[in-house]
Every structure is written in C-alpha cells, then in structure tokens.
Amino acid sequence: MTALPLIVGFGGINAAGRSSDHQAFRRLIIDTLSASEEARTIDQIGALMGMGPQVSMNKAHAQQVLEDTLIRRIHAHWFNPDEVPMNRPGHTKEPITIWLGPLQAPNILPQGWTIGRKKDRLTEYIVEPGDILKPCTRQLSVKSAGMAPTGFRPDLFYPSRNHPRTLQLALFALSDCWLSSGLQWHQIKQHIAPNQIAVFAGSSIGQMDESGFGGMLKSALLGKRTTSKQLPLGYPQMSADFSNAYVLGSLGRSGATMGACASFLYNLHNAVDGIQEGRYKIAIVGGADCPITPEVIEGFRAMGALAEDQGLRELDGLGEDETPDYRKTSRPFGLNCGFTMAESSQYIILMDDQLAIELGAAIYGSVPTVASHADGGKRSISAPGAGNYLTLAQAVASIRDLLGQDALANETLVQAHGTSTPQNRVTESEVLSRVAKAFGLDSLSVTAIKSQIGHSQGTAGGDQLAASLGAFASQTAPGIGTVETLAPDVVQDGLDFVLKSRHQRITAALINAKGFGGNNATAAILSPEATATLLKSRHGAIPLEGSDEVQSRQARYRHKIDHGTIEILYNYGENIIEGSDLEISPETIDVPGFGENMTLNQAKTKYSDLIKS
C-alpha cells in the first residue's frame, strides 16, 4: 500500500501578503470578494505591514495597502532604481591626494603611491596620474518588482543578527506554516523515528544581498571588509539548515535540490517520493528567494529576460517621457517583453495519510504525483526542449487515473509557469496544447499568477501551489488580469486561458515549471474533497478541518497575526542533542524526544535476497 502525501500545513509571504488563511490568494482575487471579505483581506495585510487593525475603515489607508502590494515600482526600502551606486572608470592627468584611516590603508603600498603627511589617525597618500574608479550613480532600465508588502519587517520580530533577507523571509514562512497548521512538533516527534522526517528547502540564487554572497563579492570593490557571516549565510541550502537548527531541531534528511525556476518542485519531488516509498512520514518543503537587488536585476536584464521601461513604452504606445504602468509589467501569454523579478518564501508540510489522520491534522490537499525531467540536447542552454512534455503528461495522466476523465477535463486548473517572456508564451502554450489534445481535452483552464506577483525564481512553484490551495478553498480561478487579449502566437487549441478571475469547480491543479538550463517539473495537486474521496476506502470518512485541538490552535494564531502580532519561531541554542545523549546499540539508536527508535537494519531489509542466512 502506497502512502498518499497529504498537505497538512502551508504558509509563506510574497507580494500578495502571507499565504496562511489564504490571505495572499484573496489579494489576487480581491475584485471578486464580498465587501466583508475584501475588508478582512485589507485588514490582514495592513496588520502585516504594521499599520494596526481595522485599516479598511480608513479609505486612504485601505488604498495604501492595495498600492503597497503586488507588482509595483521598486520601493526605496529595497533600493532606489533611479540612483543605483556604481563606479565609472576614468583617468587623471594630475596627481591626486587621498586620506585613509588605518583600516583602509593598503598593506602593500601600490606602485605609483607615496606616503605624505599624517594627521591624527589619518595618513595622506599621493597617487600619480593614472586609471581610477569614480563612484557615481545610474538609473536602471528596470524599475518594477514583486515585493513583499511595504513595511513588512520580519527582522523586527526575532534576533535576526544580520541575517540575509532570504533567511528572514524563510523563518517567517516556516513559522507561518507551522503555527497556522495547528500541529505541535513535540507531539509529532512521539509518532516518528528521527530518520522519518525530511526537510527540503533552498534558494535557487542564494542570498545575494549585503548580508550574504552579494556583500561578500563586492566588499573589496567598495572598500569594505568581508564579514565572517556573509559566505556561510549565502549558501543556497541555508533555508533548510535554519529550519533544522533553529525551528525544528530535526536530525532527519536535509538538503536542497537546485533546478532554477523548478527548484521548489524538485524539492517537492524528493519529499513526495520519500513518503510514497515509506522512508519519511513527514516532510517539510520550502523555498526562499529574494533577488530584488540591483546586481541580480542587472544580470537578468543583460540576458534580455526582464521587462524594461522602454519595452513597455513600445508595447503601450507611450512617449519617451511617459511612465509605464508598473502594475502591468508582467503579461503572461499576452504581448510582453520580459518577466518581473519578485521575492517570496513558501513552505508546506506533507505527511503520509496514516500519520495525518492519527494526529487529527487539517487536510488542505494531496500530492499524488510530481514529475521532473531535463530537456536533453540543446543548441543553447536557455532554449526550451522536450522535458516539459514528459512532466506535464505524467501529471495529467495521474489526475485522469485518480479522479477520472470528467474531472480532468472540467475541474482541473493549470497553474502555468507563465513568465511573461515572448519565448515562454509560445513554448509553454505549445506544451499545454499538445498534451491537452493528446488527452482529449477541449478547454483545459490555464492561469498564470506571475501576472500579479512576479517571478520569484526557484520559489515560484511554491507561489503557484499556495494559490492552488486558495483556489480549492474558494472554488475560484485567479485571472491573469494584466492581459486583455492573448498574443497572436499563443497556441490555444484545447486550452481556456483565464483572463479574469472567475468562480468554477476546481478539484485538481497542475503546477508547471520550466526552468533555465532545461529544468522541468509538473505536480498534480488534489483538492481536500477529492483527497477525502480517494481515502474513504482506506480510512472511512475523514474530517478535513482537523481535530478540535488543531482548530483551536489555528484560531488562536489567526487572531494574533490578524491583529499584528507576528511570531517567528527561532530557537537559537535550544534543544541541542549531543552525541553523549544518544543510546546506540547494534540494532537501533534512541534519540531523546522521538517516540520511535531509528533502526539500523536498512541493508538487511533492502538486500534480503542477497544475504546468505
């Protein structure tokens, strides 16, 4: 009997707000909400931004909440796109004089430098004519991004110790996931062995701000010292490391599989396979990417990947002095000119179905299938290939086999990768259409939420998954929104692109990712109701809302965060297990806090036919 991986918790933060309680999803479909639900959504985001409760009662404040979410002009809290620091190379014809303190003084006097006067702790250096770098600023041609709500400061709610922003968002996202699930980690540990848990989480780019790799790489050029934290905290797998060390205290499987834009789904694939094979009873899957820095944006711009102001003006027929509509820079499957960078962190908790029911967990859906494939041979590393046809077809077949042809045809929503590049709109629509027609589908629903929140790189699959859970809960497909008509080269056969948010029956979702370098993945996600129907023969009727205790803890957390009390789980230096705490025998290892022993008979079990009795 194969375990079905159930989604029993989810949380995170992106340009639409926090994922728990489907708050971020409701921001995406706010035009379809009732007046009371719209007010609740605005109040929740306002509390997250530090604006206090009941923001919706003030029209000006409510409008500010709406304007300070989703894709928008890059805010000064991140950086000023009109004045990005840089150095210009030049040449002097006369000697120049500079004064340096002891920390800035060169340890070997450069050629052409002579030492002059000394004053207090400063030393004069006379530099002969030659090449110089002159600090100045420049204006970026990309001025929009999908930023977390302006004013959201996770570093204020725990001792952040100069953590890179990616790790700050990761700790908030995992805390939001755990606390909103209503589950308690110490109780879960009583039902598992230490090797029956896994954490797969990472950043596809790494931590590229001042506190991570970014600061380390440019410190010498800026005349700064490299800190002891910039390199280790810049590693891409740090999201998993922090989850283990400071939130869970987990000794289980850990790591991050990198696959560019498909990274979240690659890690989801690891977790789903492990639960289905019986190696894990619980797995935490996460991602965190904060690439909104001048250097990363300029790198993608140089590739021709981003929507630049001039390209947007040309699309919209604007003059040189007119400002583009920064709300509509991302236009998946429409006439477009590049994607919009975004930041996000998303986490989910997966459990095998038996453990989830034993613990009385709330069930938000299930993940029966994740497929991932490379593209094979290429002429260019950035060119698409055949891999996405393989991943999508497997996920589509999974929904057909588990729920039936009717549910596949009429109740399935595709969360397309939908980056908003001219290449993607053609290649992904071709993949979706070919597979849809192969399975006899006439109008497979397709949407793309990057139109509103931007492209968070490796975490994008987490954004799509969280939005799918919101679609299940509301039975609403979020519209692409920024596109009024599809581009003429978009393949539409067998597809129904959702341009405006609409209510429809949704029992399954397909999460699609087409990553740079030939990384492709597609996940099949089933709704709570569809999951319960499948498991009825195995477990009988299942209470999807969870036990009374779980619901009570969920309600307490929801009340606190809705009123601006942000709790970040950060157990620095706590619950440390030393080697001396372990009880080791030839057959098992006992780890304090876990209810089950870790057995040491794996080889005997796996290779019993090879072992002579």
Compute CA distances 13 → 60, 81, 179, 203, 523, whole Å.
24, 23, 14, 14, 21
Residue 146 CB-half CA count within 13 A: 34
Angle between helices 548-562 and 35-48 (to 10 degrees): 70
Q: Which of 163, 269, 373, 455 is catalytic?
A: 455
Q: Which of 22, 163, 373, 417 is catalytic?
A: 417
574: tokens are 């706590």
Give the number of other Cβ atoms within 10 Å of residue 219's Cβ: 15
Angle between helices 35-48 and 59-67 (to 10 degrees): 70
Contacts of 375-381 with CB under 8 Å at 24 or more apart are 375/518, 375/520, 376/518, 378/518, 381/516, 381/517, 381/518
Going by C-alpha positions, the residue among 314, 308, 299, 313 that lies closest to residue 338 is: 308
Residue 494 CB-half CA count within 13 A: 17
Angle at 262 between CA 491 and CA 498, to 5 degrees: 35
Q: Are 6 and 531 in contact (CB under 8 A)?
A: yes
Give the number of other Cβ atoms within 10 Å of residue 141's Cβ: 15
Going by C-alpha positions, the residue among 79, 279, 86, 261 that lies closest to residue 194 is: 279
75 is catalytic: no
CA pseudo-torsion sign 292, 295, 301, 305: negative
Give the number of other Cβ atoms within 10 Å of residue 416's Cβ: 29
Give the span between the Cα atoms of 11 and 359, in whole angstroms: 19
Q: Which of 177, 261, 290, 337 is catalytic?
A: 261
How large is the greatest C-alpha to C-alpha distance in the chain, in angstroms? 88
Give the span between the Cα atoms of 288 and 181, in whole angstroms: 19
Angle at 59 between CA 53 and CA 62, to 5 degrees: 50
Give the span between the Cα atoms of 472 and 466, in whole angstroms: 10
258: tokens are 């990198």
Q: Which residues are catalytic?
A: 261, 417, 455
